Every structure is written in C-alpha cells, then in structure tokens.
Structure 1
Amino acid sequence: MDCRCLRGHPGHVRDNPVAADPLGEALHFLHLVGRFYCRSELTAPWGMALHPMPDHLWFHVVTSGQCLLEVGQETMTLRTGELALVPHGEGHVLRSAAGVPAPRIDRLHHDYESDRYAILRHGGGGTPATLVCGAVRIEHPAARHLVDLLPRIVHLEPGEGLREDWMHSTLRLLAAEARELRPGGETVITRLSDLLVIQAIRTWIDNAPAAGTGWLGALRDPVVGRAITLIHQDPARPWTVAALADELAMSRSAFAARFTELVDEPAMRYVTRWRMYLAREWLREDGATVAALAARLGYQSEAAFSRAFKRVVGISPGAARRVAPAG
C-alpha cells in the first residue's frame, strides 16, 4: 500500500483543506478490490455454502425469485430486488428452502468467463431464482475501520433502504445484465455491484441507530470529526493535543474532553492506535520494513516504533508480519 493514498504529507495539512464532511471522507476510502463475482442461475431445490474469507465482504443481490440467507444463527429471506451484505468475511449459506443440502460453492461447477467472474448453474429443476454474488476486499484502513463497525448482516429492501431512484435503476441494470451476459457484461456487473455495496453501507449509516454512536457518531461531530480526518490524512505529523486543538481553534482542555467523550478514548491514544492500525495493514500488504514503517508514521527510531507497536498490538512488528494472512 502506498502511503500517498492518505493524501497529505508531514507539516502540510494546512495546504489541504480538511474535509467538510468527515463521514464522506471515510466513505471516500471505500475502494473495492473484487476477488470473485458470480452470476447464479438456480432452480429449486438448491443450496450452497460459502466458506469464510477473512478481511472480505460478501454481497448478494437477488435479481429474480427468492432465497434464504443463513449467517450463524441468523436467517432471513431475500426476495427480488433485495441486497444483503455479509461484511465480516464469515462463512454462510444460501438455499432455496430450509433444510436443503448446501454443498460448498467451490465444489460446484462454474463456467469461468474470466479469472474472477463465473456463471453458476445449479439445482433440481424447480422454481428458478437468479443471484449476483461477490466477495470484495476493502483495502484502505480507514474503510476497514468503518466496515468493522457494521452488523453481521446488512439487509436492504426496496421501499426502505433503497429509496433513491438511482439505486432502483442500478438494480434493474444489474438484473438486465445478469439475464444475458453480453460483450462487456462482466465489467458492467462488477462495477454496478461495487456501487451497490458502497451505497448499502452509506444507507446503513444514514438509517441505523447504531451509526449515530461511537466512532461513526464522532465522525459526524463538527469538531471531533475534523480532528479524526486530520489524523487520518497525516498520521506521521507529530500530533499533540495542543496541535490538534490549535488546528480546530479550541482550547486544549475543551478539545481533549470533547474528543474523549465522543470517541471513548483520549486523542493521543487514538493517534497511536491509528498509526498501529496502518502499520499492521502495511505489514500485511507490502511487507514494509520496520525502519520504513517508523519513518512513514513519524517515529524517530525503529525502537520507538516497535515499542509502540507491541504496546498497542500485543506482539512485535516481526511477529505480526509472520502471522499476517496472505493477501
């Protein structure tokens, strides 16, 4: 991961206007990397189990018919035009009706149109259903932090979360493309799917009571939200409570109290924890050296960075690299 994506360089935050909409800034980082997309043509009885994919988000759009979605002990019915996200990479099951056998999806025959897009035809010849499903990885740490706050399932139904006309239009376009894969259809379906995932997260934030509390609630605050954005944009800057308060034209004590109240931790602890969050992601993604990480995150020495990392993460940077899952 290139640290330039954080849009800012030490000592130059004032040159880049702080986002007027910190929540929008967090959504800005929702760049999706598609790992697998599938158009499924199914006939009852049918079932399929999707294996766990840590650090990935699954989505399922029912373009015709209906199905059951089971995540752990939670079960819900998805109908035509409905969208569900399984945001935490958990294994889950889709099936036409309760109790129908559900073999692992990777053991079913797929016709691969490309290395990441497949067509699945499966079932017993009864009532049909079609789905567009996919697994995407969200790369940026700010976006992952947001996704970590989502519930086990995000379920959007027409007339509720999908109020915007363009969302209905997007679903109709997706259904039309899924009916018959035309030239360029794979690209259209993957792009539309990514838009739907981002809009589903945005809609949940707009409507869920839980989105008004904790970190997401703090992002909505005009002062604390701007402070969080400053930290995210320029994590290497030698932040202090006084420096953040100065950026926001507040007294040090008033800012410190407000930040702690809304985020539920002091500002400087958040700064350190955010830097270590970034460090873990960079260790995972690009195998950066400890020296490089220390420099990128504003530490004067490898030792100081390593001490902070172990204090926050619980293990050394080297140990974290060894246990990091393959991308």
Structure 2
Amino acid sequence: MDPNTPWQSRDPLGEALHLLRMSGTLYCASEFTAPWGLGLPPLEDCLMFHVLTAGECWLEVSGHDPLLLRTGDLALVPHGQGHSLLSATDVAAVPLFDLPRECLSERYEIIRHGGGGAPVSLVCGAVRFDHPLARQLVRLLPSLLHVEAVNAEHADWLQGTLRFMRDEARAMRPGGETVVTRLADILVIQAIRAWIARDPAAQTGWLGALQDRQIGRAIGLIHRDPARDWSLVSLAEAAAMSRSAFAARFTALVGEPAMQYLTRWRMNLALGWLQEGEVAIAVLAERLGYQSEAAFSRAFKRCHGYSPGAVRRATG
C-alpha cells in the first residue's frame, strides 16, 4: 500500500481530488493602477492561478483570445505557460521579476505597480503538485480554466472566500500570508472540480475511466496497493468482469493496457520517492512489489529512459 496515501475511498476520482495537495512555489498579492502590464514567465511543472479581488483586467495566454477578468473571477493556467495580465490589451507587459516587491515571507510577496489610474487587486500564485496521481490529473486540464464569479455554481461561497482573502491580503495580520495561500489552494481545487463536473472532455479518457464503476474500481486498487502481485485475471475479478472484456474495456477507456498502466504507475511513484531522496533503491523495489533491485531498475529505465541511480545522483 502506498504509504503516502493515508486516506482511501471507494471513489477513485475522489481520491485523485484528495491528493491535489499543493506545494506553493510563489504567492503574490498584487496592487495595480492603470495603465499597467505584468508578464509572467513560463514556469515548468507549475500551475499558475489568478484571483481578481477587485477591479477588471485582461489575461492573455497564447492560443486563446484575450480574456476579461472581473472581480471575483478565477483563472488557472495549469501547464506553466507564460502569459500576461494587462489593464488594457494595448499596454506593454513588464516582466514579473523586473518589478520591485515587498517580501513578507520566503514564498509570499506584495507587488505594487502602475500609472495611478483605476485600481486592480489580485492574488496570484504558482504551485506544484507532488503526488503522481495529482500530476496526472493536472496534465489533463486545458491550457486555460476560467471560473466566472457570476456563473459559479456556489457563487455565495466563492464570494465569501474571496472577501476573506481580500481582507487578509490587505491587512496582513500575523499569519495572514498562510491564510491567503490556503484559501487560494482551496479555490484552485474548486476550479478543477468545477471543470470535471461541466466539461465533456473530463468524462472521457483516464478521468472517464476513474468514474466508470468497474474500471474505476480496478484503477483504484492499483493506486492503493501497487506492490500487490496484480495480474490481468485478478484485476478482472476485482472488477467483476471476464478477463477479455476487462482487458478490452480498460484499454478503450484508459488508452493503454492494464498491466502497462500498472507498471507506469509504479514507476511514477518510484520517481517521486527518488526525487524526495529519502528511500534506498532496494527499499523502493520491495515497496513496489519487485523481487530484486535489478528487476526494478530495469523496469524503471524502460519507463523513464534513465536509471533510478541517475535520479538519486541528480537529487543528492
């Protein structure tokens, strides 16, 4: 059983959402006055978000038309793509790291910038997801997610959270940056949940498979107990299906055979643990159900293209 998954459910999609635990790379309360422009650089493996707590601004992301954000709106750029926030679409963007900032903690800062016109306030952030299941879910998100405050399913709750966030960002009482970052994390998860609920794309592929009663059960068992000596037969039995029907349905929904998915899941877990630098390779092999370190290392290299030792040396 995965020691990093203390909570389990009969709902595989619920487990994936539960594991959307974020580690914040950067959080920023921004206070701008028109005209102003802010250029965000690409940030690999990061999801970037913007919560507009007051005013209006434009968001420009390559491949999308300029998007007008209004008070209470939330925008996610899930794949770390560079983008711009602007008071108007004809304003030049100043690179983020060229602007002066007030650092309140290691990961929280305040930026003030602009020409003295109409004010705008935002809370922005760049976060990473540590668990392989969370990272797999985030990879499936579109390149831009927009939650409009006026159309949000739970508008009252959203607005209450935003007011709380805005007040904390302005007052900055002791511990205020912690409150703001936790509220931002909740809003990000809510945006992802809203996308899953409303977008037809979330009902197909891996996400659709998680929501399938039989295939979802098999995927959940793989996630919770990767070390078990799973076979196509045992997974089919757990899903209450024949071997042939299970194999065909799993591949059709997930896009790869069940045993290939099992191996890839094990190797993604192994990569995460190796990057944390705390577990010996032999221990990892045992934890993931391999009879020898050599067998584990071969499987790891086939999956990732490099050896577990190379990861250990790079993170050591």
Indicate the TM-score class for this superposition, using the shorter chain for normalisation: over 0.9
- In the other structure, the counterpart of 2:203 is 212
- In the other structure, the counterpart of 2:143 is 152
Which residue identity lines up with residue 87 of structure 2 in the other structure? S
User: 1:235 Cα shift?
Assistant: 0.9
**Relative to 1, partners in 2 of residues 1:233 and 1:3: Cα closer, same or farther, differing over 3 Å?**
closer
C-alpha distance in 1 between matches for 2:178 and 2:32: 22
C-alpha distance in 2 between matches for 1:29 and 1:316: 27
- In the other structure, the counterpart of 1:120 is 111
CA contact (8 A) 2:149 2:158 kept: no
- In the other structure, the counterpart of 1:44 is 34
Which residue identity lines up with residue 191 of structure 2 in the other structure? A
Which residue identity lines up with residue 154 of structure 1 in the other structure? L
- In the other structure, the counterpart of 2:132 is 141
- In the other structure, the counterpart of 2:97 is 106
Number of aligned residues: 315
**Relative to 1, partners in 2 of residues 1:164 and 1:47: Cα closer, same or farther, differing over 3 Å?**
closer
Which of 237, 240, 244 is the matching residue for 1:246? 237
Show the 5 A alignment for 1:58-207: 58-74=48-64, 75-207=66-198
C-alpha distance in 2 between matches for 1:134 and 1:260: 37
Show the 5 A alignment for 1:21-36: 21-36=11-26
Q: What secondary structure does 1:89 align onto?
A: coil
**What's the C-alpha RMSD, in Å, of the aligned pairs?**
2.1
User: 1:174 Cα shift?
Assistant: 1.7
For structure 1, which runs of at least 5 residues remain unmatched after alignment? Answer: 9-17
Which residue identity lines up with residue 283 of structure 2 in the other structure? A
Q: Are positions 1:292 and 2:283 aligned together?
A: yes
Q: What secondary structure does 1:223 align onto?
A: helix
Greater shift in the superposed pair: 198-207 or 47-56: 47-56
TM-score by length of 2: 0.92
Q: Cα deviations across residues 114-164 of structure 1 (Å, max 9, x unaligned)?
A: 111111111111111000011111111101110010011111102334435
For structure 2, which runs of at least 5 residues remain unmatched after alignment? Answer: none
Greater shift in the superposed pair: 85-94 or 174-183: 174-183
Which residue identity lines up with residue 301 of structure 1 in the other structure? S
Q: Cα deviations across residues 13-48 of structure 1 (Å, max 9, x unaligned)?
A: xxxxx7232111110101111221111110011112
Q: Cα deviations across residues 209-263 of structure 1 (Å, max 9, x unaligned)?
A: 1101000000110111111111111111111111112223332222222212211
- In the other structure, the counterpart of 1:271 is 262
Identity %: 60
CA contact (8 A) 2:2 2:225 kept: no
Which of 298, 308, 315 is the matching residue for 1:307? 298
User: 1:4 Cα shift?
Assistant: 1.0
Q: What secondary structure does 2:30 align onto?
A: strand
User: 1:318 Cα shift?
Assistant: 3.3
C-alpha distance in 1 between matches for 2:285 and 2:188: 34
Q: Cα deviations across residues 187-220 of structure 1 (Å, max 9, x unaligned)?
A: 2211111110110111111111110100000011
C-alpha distance in 1 between matches for 2:151 and 2:216: 28
C-alpha distance in 2 between matches for 1:134 and 1:109: 17
Q: What secondary structure does 1:60 align onto?
A: strand
Would you identify which runs of 4 or more consecutive aligned residues in structure 1 move more than 6 Å? Answer: none
CA contact (8 A) 2:29 2:169 kept: yes
